[in-house]
Structure formats: structure tokens, C-alpha cells
Amino acid sequence: MIEVVAAALIRDARVLAARRAPPHRLAGGWEFPGGKVEPGESDGAALVRECREELDVTVEVDRRLGTARGDATVAPIRLSLYAARLVTGEPRPHEDHDALRWLTAAELASVEWLPIDRSLLPLVAAALRVP
């Protein structure tokens, strides 16, 4: 089981969605930014590191919204999604993503989510309603 963390980065009742860039096999799919937890690393530390690497921002990690299971190439993954807030910086895509969007609850269904991320959307919609 590969442990993966992702951030529902919320600002002004919108959540940040990121589109995976080529050449990854999941290119074109939208996700909550994040990645694999390294050995000995906490979920929170992994999220802070991933948001810095992928978006060039510092985030503060809030509560866990939920988890979902899915399949990666080599092994099943468990994705833990956390609500998070921006502390410093303005998100911009690096190598991992080629587009970013801030979505309202009403706009959540308007992008092509990776299936595992889509399964968590009801929890994100609830977090957007009750910040």
C-alpha cells in the first residue's frame, strides 16, 4: 500500500485543483496537489513538502477530510485528503502540473478529476460550505 497525501487548499470558499502534466500517464487528469509520503515522514510534513515542491507555496495543514483507495501502476494507493490553508506564496504550476484552477463548490464537477480524487468531492464540497 502506497501512502499518498493531498491538499484541499481552500481560500475564499474556493479549492485549488491542479491538472497533471505530461509525460505522466495520468496527464490531463485533475487532482488535489500532493504525493507520496516518504518513510518516517508524517502526513502533515509530507503535505507541506509536496506543496512547496509542486506549487512553490507554504501551507498550514488543517483537519483530514477523508481517505480513498485506488490503484497506481505498482501497488494500491491510499489517498488521505487534508484541508489546508495558504500561508505564503501564490500557487503556480511547476513540472507536475500544467494548469491550476480555484473552484467554488458549484464548479467542483466542471473538471475531469482523477477517479480517486472525484470520490472525495462530497467531502470537499462540505468543507467549502463550512470553512
| Separation between Cα atoms, residue 94 and residue 3, nearest integer Å | 22
Q: Residue 5 CB, nearest distance to ligand 9L3 (Å)?
A: 7
Q: What residues line the site for Mg ion (CB under 5 A)?
A: 35
Q: Which amino acid makes up residue 85?
A: R
Nearer to ligand 9L3, 77 or 105 (CB): 77
Position of cell 484541508?
Answer: 83
Plot region of 23 (φ>0 → left; ψ -120 to 50 → alpha; else → beta):
alpha
Q: Verify binding: residue 31, ligand 9L3, rule CB under 6 A.
A: yes
Nearer to ligand 9L3, 68 or 86 (CB): 68
17 grid coordinates = 485543483
CB of 14 within 8 A of CB of 105? Answer: no
Q: Verify binding: residue 49, ligand 9L3, rule CB under 6 A.
A: no
Q: Verify binding: residue 82, ligand 9L3, rule CB under 6 A.
A: no
15, 32, 37, 59: which one binds ligand 9L3 (CB under 6 A)? 32
